[in-house]
Amino acid sequence: MSYFDAASAAPLHPVARQALLASVDEGWADPARPYREGRRARLLLDAAREAAAEAVGCRPDELVFTPSGTRAVHSGIKGALAGRRRVGRHLIASAVEHSSVLHSAEEFEADGGTVSRVPVSRSGTAGAEAYGAALRPDTALACLQSANHEVGTVQPVAEVAAVCRAAGVPLLVDAAQSLGWGPVEGDWSLLTASAHKWGGPSGVGLLVVRKGVRFAPQGPVDERESGRAAGFENIPAIVAAAASLRAVRAEAAEEAARLRELTGRIRARVPELVPDVEVVGDPVRRLPGIVTFSCLYVDGETVLHELDRAGFSVSSGSSCTSSTLTPSHVLKAMGVLSEGNVRVSLPPGTPAEEVDRFLSVLPDVVAAVREKLGAPAPRTAAHEDALLVDALGKRCPIPVIELAKVIEDVPVGGTVRVLSDDEAARLDIPAWCEMRGQQYVGEEPAERGSAYLVRRLS
């Protein structure tokens, strides 16, 4: 089985396993106690903190360990907003942030705060100019991921941090996807990360708060981890997380070059092997191991199941997966095709032969899914140079399939109006038009759902 979903969770690094087992016998005691066992546990915890701080590029007393990366994000955002509540109640975040950031923003809004969501380019990049335009006198905090978890686009953190610093606004960076590859550049103020993204054990997160940043921990007061992460520290897991971070950093330069070649091969070959595919994300400013593409006329869940049967574990941001009924917020913000989305994220050590086998299997998988789905004969009504396609009640990718089947039934300059009540159509029909060289005219209200107007150009 080829595991190609390292962006969700990387396999446990051998160094992490060794450190975890070794510290189980030494790090079980309370590190706050002055007796021998407690001192031994404290030494392990302090050494892990120093190693992690060195990797991040911060002081050890600026870094605390949390029970997860999500908890680090929640605690970091809440603490920073509370610490600057006298400045105002305005939060800035990009439209493609991880759900932990977006959920924190939603909670902040529900509590009376205001949130500006910075748009991104078609490659998924949030520009420094857009952040500068969103800044206000009452802005308490800005958030930006170092790299996107779905498409791999690396964000211009240093430039955004400079804009925020000039305005006196702290920037929180979610570095979950990138920290294993290197420190985050720029004059950021807060940083979060998660150990299971770089091959450490799950259940360990990092929260860094730079000295001088106003921060007020929320919730009941706890004496552990500088009062910023309540509860007894999982010292064996923390030791393993720090050890694995140091290990992957030592391998990062060589492994990044190798994975970049493999993902570059996927980016180049997939459009050649599979028709009607859009490769998404920035082609240059991207993480080494992530490549994402979307296939017209298939649903993502079926593609994932078929690839699983063929021996490949991949993930999807598609609207047609069992975990969500709406398009991925990342793909939606980018304005790219969401149907049939496949994210390949290669863990360090992936053999080139496995990538070649994936490329040999993928075309038949997509072709079989397209054949299996077919396209129900659309109910059309001719109106001179116009057609009406009734796709109400049909889910992705059927509305787009039906559009594709009838577009040549109207003359050049003619129009097709697609009726659909599937939210994914709002993103996928314009994306199909761009891919196929047709003109997306716009959306009109309908008695049920919406009517999407497409003009044939070729």
Angle between helices 235-273 and 36-56 (to 10 degrees): 30
d(CA 65, CA 45): 10
**Can 320 be counted among the known catalytic residues?**
yes
**Amino acid identity of 436?**
R
* Dist. CA 342–CA 150, nearest whole Å: 9
Catalytic residue, chosen from 58, 164, 295, 320, is 320
Helices (H), 383-438: 398-406, 425-436
> Cβ distance 423 to 451 under 8 Å?
no
Both tokens of residue 332?
């939606």
Where does 202-296 have alpha helices with state H?
Answer: 235-273
Cis peptide bond N-terminal to 397, omega within 30: yes
Residues 6 or more apart from 272 whose CB is under 8 A from it?
none
The structure tokens listed for 402 are 């039906």
290-295 vs 277-280, strand pairing mode: antiparallel
Main-chain phi, psi angles of 315, to 5 degrees: -130, 180
Q: C-alpha angle with apex 273: 267 to 278, nearest 5 degrees?
A: 50
DSSP for residue 347: P
**What is the rounded CA–CA span in Å between residue 61 and residue 44?**
15
Q: In whole angstroms, how far apart are CA 194 and each of 17, 91, 185, 228, 287?
A: 17, 23, 18, 16, 16
* Separation of first and last alpha carbons in the chain: 44
Tokens 């496995």, residue?
A: 354
Residues serving a catalytic function are 320
